[in-house]
Amino acid sequence: MTDVHTPEQRSYNMSRIRSGHTQPELRVRKLLHGMGLRYRLHGKGLPGKPDLVFAGARAVLFVHGCFWHMHRCRFGKPVPATNRDFWAEKRRSNAARDKRNRAALKADGWRVFEIWECDTRDAAKLDRRLEPLVRFLRGPRRCDITG
């Protein structure tokens, strides 16, 4: 099946899809900031440009869109009706890239956390999903003082 949009319409639609400062990301940022946690945004020097970087704790947080990163929830399962092969490969390559980025970060000593878009739709669920990150950030960490 061919695309239902003209190339110009498709290009415009795709240009509106943001990679950063999305609503799910903003919800997570607001909640963590309200807890007194501070972070850097979109770590440009790190694999995958994590959405939130907690440099002092060597921890990163990715806020993934369910559709684009093939989450196993109902929002990640739909298959586009047009151009199926292209979108299937695009989404598979996103998931594979995520896996490579996680492995690279872990190999470099970073602790990697992920939140899915569907987790941000309910405040109580978001709190539960962020709990391991918050516990890690607030927990005791070893200081390497030499000297």
Q: What is the pLDDT of residues 33-77, one digit of tens each?
A: 999 999 999 999 999 999 999 999 999 999 999 998 999 998 888
Residue at 71 is within a domain: yes
**Comparison of pLDDT for 123 and 20, the residue scoring more:** 123
Residue at 102 is within a domain: yes
Rg of the chain, C-alpha, whole Å = 18
What pLDDT does residue 83 have? 83
As beta bridge partners, residue 111 has 59
pLDDT per position as a tens digit, 16-34: 666 667 999 999 999 999 9
Residue at 6 is within a domain: no
| Segments in the chain forming alpha helices (H) | 7-15, 23-34, 84-107, 123-138
Total domains in the fold of the chain: 1
Q: What is the CATH number of the domain that holds 78?
A: 3.40.960.10
Residue at 3 is within a domain: no
Residue at 146 is within a domain: no
Query: Does position 147 have pLDDT exceeding 50, yes or no?
Result: no
Note if the pTM is more than 0.75.
Answer: yes
What pLDDT does residue 56 have? 94
Residue at 105 is within a domain: yes
* Dist. CA 114–CA 129, nearest whole Å: 9
Question: Quick one: pLDDT band at residue 86, thresholds 50, 70, 90?
Answer: confident
* Dist. CA 123–CA 121, nearest whole Å: 7
What pLDDT does residue 59 have? 98
Amino acid at 133: L
Q: Average pLDDT, stretch 7-13?
A: 69
Domain residues for 75?
A: 17-42+53-137
